[in-house]
Amino acid sequence: MASISARRLAKELREIQGEGCPVGISLLKADDFATWWFSIEVMGESLYQNEAYTLQFRFDSQYPISSPAVQFVVTDGKQAPIHPHVYSNGHICASILGNEWSPVLSVVAVCVTLQSMLASCKKKERPTDNDRYVRTAPENPKKVRCHLPKSVSSANSFPDTIPL
Amino acid sequence: MTLSTVALPSTVNSPIMNVQVPTVNDLRVKLCYICREEELYDAVDGENPPRAWTHPCKCTLIAHEQCLLKWIQTAQGSSSRAPNALKCPQCGAAYELESKDPWILKFIAGGNRVLQKLGSLFTVFGAATVVCAVGTSLYIICTTYGAWAVQKFIGKEMFDTLLTDDPSNWPWTAFINLPLLPISLILSRFQSTNELSPIIPILLVWPPTYPVGERSRRLQDYWKKPENSTRLGSLFSNTPSPTRSWPPSPVLFSLFGLPIIRMIYRSCYAHLYYKLMGTRLAVATRDRNRRGLRFEEGPFVIRIRANVQEEGQQQDQQQQQQPQQAQVDPQQQQQQLQMVDQAAEEIAAANQDQDPDAAAVAVAAAEQLIEINASSLGRRVGGALMIPAISSAMGSLLFRLSKHSSLLRQFLGVRLGMGSKKFPLPPPVVMELFGLEGEWEGAGLVKQFVMGCKLGMAALWGGTRTWAESDPIWWRNTVGLGLFIAAKDCIHLAHLWLAKRELESRKVKNRDFQGVDIRELDLIPGFPQP
């Protein structure tokens, strides 16, 4: 019997492949149940119009009890969006990726939340402590707790996550 | 297992209809919101054993009980997630846990929490106590050192008059000034040319201090006796300037004397340096650059710099020591040349097998040595802390020498007859002794103010009478320290000069071809062949 994490990820993957992703989000790579890549683009008018970013999910064996490690890909010429809650190394300061993570969330739900985080941005700028953070940050974004004043909450991500 | 059910108001209010409220077991498809596994109500190949389902909140989310319990347990395990552990992520309703939770467990858990709180309090207070203890002992050490330094510098008698060994007699300023002394001494070693000499704090701080304690009261009693106060009358006129104008008052000396002497000394030193080394003492510009850097850099780098100078940039070090060279009287400059010769002989003997850093080549080589060398750091700090002892030793040496020379005695202002020998020092506040109190009380506010100013200025410029009339140990100690520094500079200069001469005079010894087969050599035609 495959682990709970693998079975749930398999199911999420089947749903993505069957029903497709929400507009602006597409699966780039899901070769295993450890690392998935998504392309994420903000639809409609926003500061990030016509800019596509790559989002990386890393899962451990405790998923979905433990949250996935989510960050923007900044290698291979890719860049993280300039946003008050996104560090230049791709790490994201969002509470749903940390202490507000809940198993009810899914990979697609996280993508949608981060998409709306970009869409609602008023000013393109890096977090104030970007340089210091990037210098000292560990490789895995889950190992740091972010302290930015207003981090992205999970408020708008739940309603359509679970088919009822 | 059913935990809670949603009871619609209508069903509650109409018992006749007796509508059954569905539970989680009545769902056709059950989907766990955690593991996303589905289960059909009529599944034949259902899991074995069947897994329990639960509907813990007020919305439609359901989950395997085991999944939910695992989630709750994990979330409760981290303090940041604990607040959300027992809450539905969708409707926010609180989960109710039913468990074996007897009062004894609650009691123990509660006790554990209290202990945890107390423990963290203890951590804070313990850390604070340690910090306080370390700080206090450092403070005590610094203060003790400060008191020792002052006693060394102004002499035992003055120390007993102004401070005494008993800290309860000290004025409150002493508790700030004394611990700062060692710090300022050490800092002065790491500061550049224009900083104040380490002695200045001592000189500036102590003159206006009035005698304290039991001894002071005894002094006043002594001087109030008629037979003594007549003697006092002959000693003091009512003018604020002391009867003797030499040596200058400490304040006057440190404010004006020191800078002037320092300037003269520096130019003499530069002149001597030029004569000996053949190059200018071209430190002014570099020194300025260094100082610019120093202000921006942390203490760690300062130490590295200090060490680099110690190792090689001796010209710089020369300049660094300038603050301490200030006390040297110009007339002592002539002694320098003789001393150079003496010192040169000593060092030549000591350093023959060494190849000390010298001149520009050595400076360049030593630039690379940016390693902290504990001993040289210790040398710096230790040297700074030794200053009071050195000046005291030099002072007493001068005092001993002065017994053989009246000129020196005059210069040092030695007053054998005045101090403890015949009668104790008079207290500085002579007002009381001369009955000025009455005049003070009778005077108007303006006059009181003027008198206060006069006394204050007199104390500041002339030093207090205690200073003026005591044997000026501080003066010969200052002169002694100046001499010591001059001597040290001379030795250093001699060292530099000798090292430079050694470098310049180097030659590789030239040998003939003794022992080499002559046929292997391509010799000029005229060389006599064997």
Sheet holding A25-29, edge to edge: A25-29, A35-41, A52-58, A69-72
Q: Is the dihedral of CA B43, B48, B49, B53 positive or negative?
A: negative
Contacts of B202 (CB under 8 A, 6+ apart): B149, B150, B153, B154, B181, B474
H/E run at residue A35: strand A35-41
Residue B363 confidence (pLDDT): 37
Greater confidence, B163 or A50?
A: A50
Tell which B residues from 236 to 265 touch A, by Cβ distance under 8 Å.
none
Cβ within 8 Å, pair A145-B80: yes
**Selected residue of B28, B33, B62, B91 to mutate for chain A interface (largest A Cβ count, 10 A):** B33
What is the least distance, in Å, from the CA of B77 to any CA of chain A?
12
Cβ within 8 Å, pair A103-B81: no
Lowest mean pLDDT among B23-32, B171-180, B367-376, B520-529: B367-376
Using an 8 Å CB-CB cutoff, list chain B residues near A66.
74
Lowest mean pLDDT among B116-125, B391-400, B513-522: B513-522
**Tokens 């858990």, residue?**
B109
Residue B101 has pLDDT above 60, yes or no: yes
- What distance in Å separates the CA atoms of residue B391 and residue B397, rounded to the nearest whole number? 10
What is the least distance, in Å, from the CA of B40 to any CA of chain A?
14
Residue B95 has pLDDT above 70, yes or no: yes
Cβ atoms of residues B465 and B236 within 8 Å: yes
Cβ within 8 Å, pair B89-A105: yes
**Selected residue of A104, A107, A156 to mutate for chain B interface (largest B Cβ count, 10 A):** A104
Asked, for residue B370, whether it belongs to a domain, the answer is no
- What distance in Å separates the CA atoms of residue B482 and residue B478, rounded to the nearest whole number? 6
CA closest to B32 among chain A residues: A104
Residue B66 has pLDDT above 80, yes or no: yes
Q: Using CB atoms within 10 A of its CB, is residue A115 exposed (0-12), middle (13-18) or buried (19+)? A: buried
Greater confidence, B167 or B358?
A: B167
What is the least distance, in Å, from the CA of A82 to any CA of chain B?
27
Tell which B residues from 88 to 127 touch A, by Cβ distance under 8 Å.
89-90
Under the banding of pLDDT at 50, 70 and 90, the label for residue B359 is very low
Using an 8 Å CB-CB cutoff, list chain B residues near A8.
35-37
Chain A contact for B37 (CB, 8 A cutoff): yes
Return the closest-CA partner of residue A69 out of A113, A34, A104, A26. A34
Using an 8 Å CB-CB cutoff, list chain B residues near A65.
34, 70-71, 74
Cβ within 8 Å, pair A99-B70: no
Average pLDDT for B113-134? 94
Return the closest-CA partner of residue B388 out of B138, B139, B156. B156
Using an 8 Å CB-CB cutoff, list chain B residues near A154.
89
Q: What is the DSSP string of B18-44?
A: -PPPP-GGG-SEEEBTTT--EEETT-T
Asked, for residue B127, whether it belongs to a domain, the answer is no
Under the banding of pLDDT at 50, 70 and 90, the label for residue B199 is low
Average pLDDT for B282-301? 37
Under the banding of pLDDT at 50, 70 and 90, the label for residue B40 is confident
Cβ atoms of residues B140 and B188 within 8 Å: no
Using an 8 Å CB-CB cutoff, list chain B residues near A7.
35-37
The residues of A carrying an active-site annotation are: 93
Contacts of B498 (CB under 8 A, 6+ apart): B344, B347, B348, B351
Residue A72 confidence (pLDDT): 93
Tally the domains of chain B.
1
Under the banding of pLDDT at 50, 70 and 90, the label for residue A36 is very high
Chain A contact for B47 (CB, 8 A cutoff): no
Say how many residues make up chain B.
Answer: 530
Domain layout of chain A by residue ranges: 4-163
- Residue percentage of chain A with pLDDT more than 90: 31
User: Please, what is the angle between helix B284-296 and helix B299-311, to 10°?
Assistant: 150
Lowest mean pLDDT among A95-99, B241-245, B261-265, B446-450: B241-245
Q: Nearest CB to A100: which of B36, B78, B84?
A: B84
Q: Nearest CB to B35: which of A8, A100, A102?
A: A8
Q: Nearest CB to B81: which of A99, A154, A164?
A: A99
What is the least distance, in Å, from the CA of B23 to any CA of chain A?
16
Q: Which fold has domain A4-163?
A: Ubiquitin Conjugating Enzyme (3.10.110)
Tell me if the bond preceding A64 is cis, omega within 30° of 0: yes
Tokens representing B44 are 């034949």
H/E run at residue A13: helix A4-19
- Mark out chain A residues that contact chain B at CB-CB < 8 A: 4, 7-8, 11-12, 62, 64-66, 98-105, 145, 154, 158, 162-164
Residue A4 has pLDDT above 80, yes or no: yes
Q: B71: domain range?
A: 29-84
Residue B10 has pLDDT above 90, yes or no: no
Greater confidence, B411 or B1?
A: B411
Return the number of other C-beta atoms located less than 10 Å from residue A149's C-beta: 9
Residue B122 has pLDDT above 90, yes or no: yes
Under the banding of pLDDT at 50, 70 and 90, the label for residue B299 is very low
- What distance in Å separates the CA atoms of residue A40 and residue A52, rounded to the nearest whole number? 6
Return the closest-CA partner of residue B363 out of B318, B311, B290, B320. B311
- What distance in Å separates the CA atoms of residue B177 and residue A159, rounded to the nearest whole number? 70
**Residue B214: how many CA atoms within 13 Å on its side-chain side?**
5
Q: What is the pLDDT of residues B422-462, one digit of tens each?
A: 455 555 444 444 444 455 555 567 777 776 676 666 655 55
Using an 8 Å CB-CB cutoff, list chain A residues near B36.
7-8, 11-12, 64
Residue B473 has pLDDT above 50, yes or no: yes
Residue B114 confidence (pLDDT): 94
ipTM: 0.83
- What distance in Å separates the CA atoms of residue B154 and residue B247, rounded to the nearest whole number? 14
Chain A contact for B61 (CB, 8 A cutoff): yes
Using an 8 Å CB-CB cutoff, list chain A residues near B78.
99
Cβ within 8 Å, pair A64-B35: yes
Q: What is the pLDDT of residues A99-131, one digit of tens each?
A: 888 889 999 999 999 999 999 888 888 988 888
Chain A contact for B2 (CB, 8 A cutoff): no
Mean per-residue pLDDT of chain A: 84
Cβ within 8 Å, pair A65-B90: no
What does the CA dihedral A131, A135, A140, A145 come to, rounded to 10 degrees?
-60
Average pLDDT for B174-182? 82
- What distance in Å separates the CA atoms of residue B362 and residue B262, rounded to the nearest whole number? 28
Q: What is the pLDDT of residues A52-73, one digit of tens each?
A: 999 999 998 888 888 999 999 9
Cβ atoms of residues B322 and B193 within 8 Å: yes
Under the banding of pLDDT at 50, 70 and 90, the label for residue A150 is low
What is the least distance, in Å, from the CA of B61 to any CA of chain A?
8
CA closest to A103 among chain B residues: B34
What is the least distance, in Å, from the CA of B81 to any CA of chain A?
5
Residue B280 confidence (pLDDT): 66
Q: A156 by DSSP, 3-state: which?
A: helix
Average pLDDT for B367-386? 61
Greater confidence, B26 or B229?
A: B26
Cβ within 8 Å, pair B33-A162: yes
Residue B81 confidence (pLDDT): 79
What is the least distance, in Å, from the CA of A52 to any CA of chain B?
30
Lowest mean pLDDT among B28-42, B110-124, B163-177: B163-177
Return the closest-CA partner of residue B190 out of B316, B277, B283. B316
Using an 8 Å CB-CB cutoff, list chain B residues near A164.
60
- What distance in Å separates the CA atoms of residue A15 and residue A47, rounded to the nearest whole number? 30
Residue B288 has pLDDT above 70, yes or no: no
Residue A39 has pLDDT above 90, yes or no: yes
Chain A contact for B210 (CB, 8 A cutoff): no
Cβ atoms of residues A104 and A158 within 8 Å: yes
Q: Nearest CB to A11: which of B36, B60, B80?
A: B36
**Tokens 């002493």, residue?**
B174
CA closest to A154 among chain B residues: B89
Backbone angles phi, psi at B260, to 5 degrees: -65, -50
What is the least distance, in Å, from the CA of B37 to any CA of chain A?
7
Q: What is the pLDDT of residues B360-376, one digit of tens each?
A: 544 333 333 323 444 56
Residue A59 confidence (pLDDT): 92
Average pLDDT for B501-527? 80
